[in-house]
Amino acid sequence: MPHAPLSSTGPRRRSLRAASAAVALSAALLAAGCGASEDTVQDPKATASPVKGFPVTIDNCGVRTTYDKPPARVVTIHQHPAELMLALGLKNRMAGTAFPDSAVLPELRKDYESIPELAKKEPSFETVLDAEPDLVYGGYGSAFDENEGRSRTAFTDAGIDTHLNREYCGKKRVTMQDTYDEIRTIGKIFGVPDRAGELVADLEGRVDRATAEVDGEPEVSVFVYDSGDKTAFTAGGKSLGTELIHLAGGKNVFADLDDVFGDVSWEQVVERKPDVIAVYDYAGAGSVEQKKEFLLSQPALADVPAIRNKRFVVLPLTATLVGIRSAYAVDDLARGLHPKSFG
């Protein structure tokens, strides 16, 4: 996981462009799990009457926001919020993205590439303001890094609403329910609850089908390798990754680590004898092949079953976060842990 840590101009008035209700979600793309029809934005002068279903009040990580209408210009910081919005058919509400982690889902790639990329990492406060958003939607807590001048208060003072992915709200444990709740919340904010409900149902179906295939199979022990050489940076018991492994018929060997992510010693990895190593793939931490080569080259790990049998499962980091990818990750993990169950 990226070690992204949790500059400024005077207040700037938010854009007054309003948005109308969105057209129906594309059934064909929904069948793929993430697709949606495009949203349309109308002339604000044509929307004088109150928007149906609004106002909507959302309590998000200690910040209470009331939306009188759906946001019209959104900047997403980090990839998973962007993909979630695209999956809900909200491309035309997106004024910019930033910080791509992994290859974008094929069915969303064209839309994703059509949105201006503001920065390869987190953009500066001024860069976000230049996009004139009325909402900034962050994926990691670092989206609103106070030390970088991007605090939620700073955006509020500039007349811009903010929303942070619930994974970074300080919950004790992240689960698939968080994914479904996040999708439904974004659906409420943008006035597309039906789309959100259909998308959640599709993702739940993906998970149910994968878990059914491995039902009754022996549990496979899994070590998550994110990064690290002197120590191993891995997924702990509070991470969504731990639940994804469980749903796929496995057990995270560091489920007792009382954190979302944390460092463990290689001696601990050897002691826990994982059968499979799940390698997290993302930009900036070395390629998957480099990570595999490193693990396979360590004499101390030679007798670890996963190393001895060269059993690896690769997951894009975005697939292990609260977003639309997590349902896909359950299927990928299940196939990697129990290949015989899938023929």
Q: 40 with 135, same domain?
A: yes
Q: 64 with 179, same domain?
A: yes
Q: 197 with 304, same domain?
A: no
Q: 40 with 189, same domain?
A: yes
Confidence of residue 49 (pLDDT cuts 50, 70, 90): low
What's the structural domain count of the chain? 2
Pairwise CA distance, residues 12 & 5, whole Å: 26
**Boundary (domain end) residue, out of 145, 174, 204:** 204
CB-CB neighbours of 110 under 10 Å: 11
Bigger pLDDT: 337 vs 21: 337
Please tell me the predicted confidence (pLDDT) of residue 51: 83
Confidence of residue 189 (pLDDT cuts 50, 70, 90): very high
Pairwise CA distance, residues 11 & 126, whole Å: 11
Q: 165 with 245, same domain?
A: no
Pairwise CA distance, residues 235 & 273, whole Å: 16
Q: Is residue 157 part of a domain?
A: yes
Q: Is residue 3 part of a domain?
A: no
Pairwise CA distance, residues 265 & 261, whole Å: 13
Q: 285 with 180, same domain?
A: no
CATH code of 222's domain: 3.40.50.1980
Q: Which residues contact 158 (CB under 8 A, 6 or more apart)?
A: 9, 11, 12, 14, 129
State percent of the chain over pLDDT 90. Answer: 79
Confidence of residue 13 (pLDDT cuts 50, 70, 90): very low
Q: Is the pLDDT of residue 18 over 80?
A: no
Q: Is residue 338 part of a domain?
A: yes
Q: What's the whole-number mean pLDDT along residues 29-39?
A: 37
Quote the distance between the C-alpha of residue 251 and its chain's center.
22
Q: 55 with 132, same domain?
A: yes
Q: What is the pLDDT of residues 202-237, one digit of tens each?
A: 999 999 999 999 999 999 999 999 999 999 999 999
**Boundary (domain end) residue, out of 204, 230, 264:** 204
Q: Is residue 170 part of a domain?
A: yes
Q: What is the pLDDT of residues 101-123, one digit of tens each?
A: 888 999 999 999 999 999 999 99
Q: Is the pLDDT of residue 22 over 90?
A: no
Q: What's the whole-number mean pLDDT along residues 69-94?
A: 97
Q: 198 with 241, same domain?
A: no
Q: Is residue 164 part of a domain?
A: yes
Please tell me the predicted confidence (pLDDT) of residue 110: 96
The kind and range of the H/E element at 290 are helix 288-296
Which range of residues forms the domain containing residue 327?
A: 218-342
- Residue 119 · residue 98 · CB < 8 Å: yes
Q: 198 with 232, same domain?
A: no
- Residue 114 · residue 91 · CB < 8 Å: yes
Q: Taking the model in full, what pTM does it have?
A: 0.83
DSSP state of 324: T
Q: What is the pLDDT of residues 307-332, one digit of tens each?
A: 999 999 999 999 999 999 999 999 99
**Boundary (domain end) residue, out of 159, 182, 204:** 204
Q: 178 with 58, same domain?
A: yes
Q: 43 with 171, same domain?
A: yes
Q: 140 with 242, same domain?
A: no
Token look-up 């959640």 returns: 200
Q: Is residue 268 part of a domain?
A: yes
Q: Is residue 285 part of a domain?
A: yes
Confidence of residue 285 (pLDDT cuts 50, 70, 90): confident
Per residue in 297-307, is it b (16+ CB within 10 Å) or e — as a string? eeeebeebebb
Q: What's the whole-number mean pLDDT along residues 134-152?
A: 96
Q: What's the whole-number mean pLDDT along residues 56-79?
A: 97
CB-CB neighbours of 223 under 10 Å: 27
